[in-house]
Copies of this chain bind each other. A is one copy, B any other.
Amino acid sequence: MAEPSRIWTHIDFNLDGKQAGNLHVPHSVDLSAYAMIQIPIICIRNGEGPTALLTAGNHGDEYEGQIALRKLAQALRPEALRGRVIIIPSLNYPAAAAGRRVSPVDEGNLNRVFPGRANGNVTEMIAHYVDSVLFPMADVVIDVHSGGRSLDYAHTALAQRVTDAAQGAALRTLLTTFGAPHSVLTTGSGGGGATTLYAAATRRGIPALTTELGSGATLDPAGLEIAEQGVRRVLRHYGIAPDLACEPAPPTQLLTSLGPRHAIYAPCAGMMEPLAKVGEHVRAGQAALRLYSIDDPLAEPLSLHFSADGIVSCRRFPTLCARGDGLFHLAAPIDAD
């Protein structure tokens, strides 16, 4: 038998109205034997209807979603709903409070540990609660990410490619409704593989979408706008907020990731001068960047080139690079099928 989550909350998910509270994650430490890490959570419900689970701050240094979901939580009026919206704007709260990608409590990367463990470390307990308690309530899941401190990302929504036709159609509709400029169908060969939040939700058959909006641990107003409008359109589409104000969905370009074998990694440390922009169409053999030596100012910079045609999906944001850092990733258009 599966172990139950040790996380608890005063929130009653079956009550109508708008409730604000915390998830309590027990964390017993030197200075606080009975401490609870408190993760803010909002539940807004009005009668029967589908449930949307909306999360951000899965990585703590990505801000467009954290602010978009705060704005939404403030704007939604329970009486205008038909169903339920559960919002966790800073899901890995210790990481968010520290302004870090990973948790200062256990160095855990929340989007690499799904489905988590009931008795694991704090990050694993959070993943386990989302997977075992929240997913069973959800009819649609959106986990808003951005480039964060280390990446500059084209505005993109992502969903997993699935074999089930009905779920596949729901995912395509979800991407079109969200309406990011780029939409990527992923195959699980990328960064987190099967250990991400949206992959875990997809595994349970739920239409689930994630995003990459903005760059560099600052706030991109355009990315914020995409997050706000996209989430609003999805809530309308699912009938949860039938009258919620939003713009019509702009067109989106459907892409597939070219994966790590066509990515460019730093072969040594240096300072990067990028020669291509995110969203740009590039050709195999085209120069991608120059890498300047830190030690020897007279050294000829190293030029690195793209190994395939494609569209730049993201590039490294910090100028200073260490050996092995991912510098550029490519995607390619896919035909409607």
> In the bound complex, do residue B326 and residue A271 qualify as a contact, i.e. CB atoms below 8 Å apart?
no
> In the bound complex, do residue A218 and residue B297 qualify as a contact, i.e. CB atoms below 8 Å apart?
no
Stretch at the interface among A35-43, A166-174, A203-211: A35-43
Considering only CB atoms, which chain B residue lies closest to A119 in the complex? Answer: B195
> In the bound complex, do residue B67 and residue A292 qualify as a contact, i.e. CB atoms below 8 Å apart?
yes
Q: How far is the CA of A28 from the CA of B295 in the complex (A)?
A: 20
Whether, in the assembled complex, A61 has its beta carbon less than 8 Å from a beta carbon of chain B, the answer is yes
Binding site for B on A (CB under 8 A): 6, 8, 10, 20, 24, 26-38, 40, 42, 59, 61, 63, 66-67, 69-70, 73-74, 87, 89-90, 96-97, 99-102, 109, 112, 119, 147-152, 191-193, 195, 216-219, 224, 260-261, 263, 265, 267-268, 271-274, 292, 294-298, 300-301, 314, 316-320, 322-326, 329
Q: How far in angstroms is the closest Cβ of chain B from A227?
A: 13
- Sampled A-B contacts (17; CB under 8 Å): A8-B261, A26-B191, A30-B149, A31-B99, A31-B149, A32-B324, A38-B295, A38-B323, A42-B297, A67-B271, A70-B292, A74-B298, A96-B294, A99-B318, A216-B218, A216-B317, A219-B319
> In the bound complex, do residue B29 and residue A101 qualify as a contact, i.e. CB atoms below 8 Å apart?
yes
Considering only CB atoms, which chain B residue lies closest to A274 in the complex? Answer: B219
Chain B hits for A74, CB < 8 A: 297-298, 300
Q: How far in angstroms is the closest Cβ of chain B from A312?
A: 14
Which of A20, A319, A326 lies at the interface centre, i.e. has the most chain B CB atoms within 10 A of its CB?
A319
> In the bound complex, do residue A31 and residue B260 qualify as a contact, i.e. CB atoms below 8 Å apart?
no
Known contacts A31-B150, A38-B324, A218-B317, then 16 further A-B pairs from the complex at CB < 8 Å, ordered by chain A residue = A20-B298, A26-B191, A28-B112, A32-B325, A33-B101, A33-B150, A33-B151, A34-B151, A34-B191, A35-B324, A63-B320, A70-B292, A74-B298, A99-B320, A119-B195, A218-B319
Checking B36, B323, B325 against A324 with a beta-carbon cut-off of 8 angstroms, the contacting residue is B36
Chain B hits for A224, CB < 8 A: 273
Chain B hits for A40, CB < 8 A: 295-297
> In the bound complex, do residue B297 and residue A69 qualify as a contact, i.e. CB atoms below 8 Å apart?
yes
Q: How far in angstroms is the closest Cβ of chain B from A58?
A: 12
> In the bound complex, do residue A318 and residue B195 qualify as a contact, i.e. CB atoms below 8 Å apart?
no
Q: How far in angstroms is the closest Cβ of chain B from A114?
A: 10
> In the bound complex, do residue B102 and residue A30 qualify as a contact, i.e. CB atoms below 8 Å apart?
yes
Q: How far is the CA of A260 from the CA of B300 in the complex (A)?
A: 29
Chain B hits for A192, CB < 8 A: 28
> In the bound complex, do residue B33 and residue A297 qualify as a contact, i.e. CB atoms below 8 Å apart?
no
Checking B28, B69, B265 against A191 with a beta-carbon cut-off of 8 angstroms, the contacting residue is B28
Chain B hits for A193, CB < 8 A: 6
